[in-house]
Amino acid sequence: MNDINIRKITLSDIDQLQNIGKQTFAETFSSGNSEANMNDYLKHKFSKEVLETELNDKNSEFYFAELEQQNIGYLKINFGKSQTEISGENALEIERIYVLKEFHGKKVGQLLYQKAIELAKQQKVDYIWLGVWEDNPRAIRFYEKNGFVKFDKHIFKLGNDEQTDIMMRLLLKNN
């Protein structure tokens, strides 16, 4: 997997982003949610209008993980007022790290995570934070392995279902 390239996503990549966003979210969460709630979430959160707004936000950035010109995962980070919960603090939010199911366990998520760390250090933030669904033990273990600690919880709404996300953070030293 040494040939994986991490590339910043631009507005011209919106169709590819929409496709991988929908596919990876569905692969990750369909088994634990109703079809109606999944369809509602995918339709709204991954609409071209929403993605265009996010791509045009100067405080948000997206990156593809590419292998042999195929998008196999992606990262979304937020700074400043674009953070979903903690705005105004000197922090970076990892809003999304998703990898196609066939590439799980192949260190793709780790490469995207390392890109987020690199960006956080460039921005000289004090910490990185994220929310992860309490029923996603694989992701929780991934972040704990990378030094994140739980600090709070919040509600994530998927369709009409209110779910609990565990909020985790990683303090950065030697910015």
Could you give the residue numbers annotated as active site? 143
Burial class (CB in 10 A: 0-12, 13-18, 19+), 151: exposed
> Are the beta carbons of 77 and 98 closer than 8 angstroms?
no
Whose structure tokens read 């959160």?
45
- Report the chain's C-alpha Rg in angstroms: 15
> Are the beta carbons of 65 and 99 closer than 8 angstroms?
yes
**CA torsion through residues 46, 16, 123, 59, sign:** negative
